[in-house]
A and B are shown apart, each in its own frame.
Chain A
Amino acid sequence: MSQEARATVRVTHRFSASPERVFDAFLDPMKIAIWMLGPATGEAKRIEVDPRVGGLFTFVIERPVNGTAQAMEHTGEYRELERPRRLAFTWGVPQFSAELTLVSLDFVAEEDGKATVVTLVHDGVLPDYAERTQGGWTAILAAVERSLG
């Protein structure tokens, strides 16, 4: 079964900081190492950025999964860098899927540049999704089985 599913995610957040400062935080390795973790525990093992159109990035995050540290690599290519208005890059997690999705961020200044509203759009084209879902479900069933003993 081969079927293509398209999925778009939109998230907005208001920051009490200038668009320049928020924009730069998405390209600064020290800051990426922190925001990439989100609310979860973990550690950034490797953050490499080449912030120019066509430049690549790699974020390796290590998280404890059932007591063992598991590294997850996120990679992508910068597509648009219009400081401080717009940023776009491809986004992929090679160990899970060969497909690249696209992330774009729009920065809109508010209160004379003292605040910024960021709209993030993550656009995924997910071909053969049904097939992989089938595999996913088989794995879920196995996990449920194990957890119940």
Chain B
Amino acid sequence: MSAATEARLSATLVALSDPTRRAILRRLARGEARVTDLAAPFAISLNAVSKHIRTLERVGLIHRKRVGRDHVLSFRATPMDAASAWMDTQREIWTGRLQALDALLQSEDDNALSRTKTKKGDVR
């Protein structure tokens, strides 16, 4: 995983660590909503909800657009992030596979070498 992806991932995990923020995301995963609608079910101030929304916006999980006087929020996971996550995963997997193959070929060499040695020293 690249350093940038890792930093983004940990910022995302921090954003997800709060139950109010997860509730906001679950609501937005069903469809877009205005900030005021979003704040309604929570027993906290609009100001506090706005702060949570800004945290989610910073890690790119929420997108904000202005419609007239309203701020409409939607759940967002960009294709770029998805593609880079795919690349990181595949890179890691293939690196592991090539290393495993390297170890396998080396152990074949070691075995061949020890067989030769055994034969030489074998007095039957």
Contacts and interface: CB of A to CB of B under 8 A. Distances in A.
B114 interface: no
B90 interface: yes
A129 B104 contact: no
Interface of B: 16-17, 19, 22, 25-26, 29, 61, 75, 77-84, 86-87, 90-91, 93-102, 104-106, 109
Contacts of B81: 133
B interface SS class:
helix
Nearest to B16: A144
Contacts of A144: 16-17, 22
B97 A137 contact: no
Given A36-B97, A138-B29, A144-B17, 7 more contacts: A5-B80, A7-B90, A16-B105, A17-B109, A126-B83, A130-B82, A137-B29
Contacts of A130: 77-79, 82
A136 B77 contact: yes
A133 B79 contact: yes
A118 interface: yes
B88 to A, nearest CB: 9
A45 interface: no
Contacts of B75: 134, 137
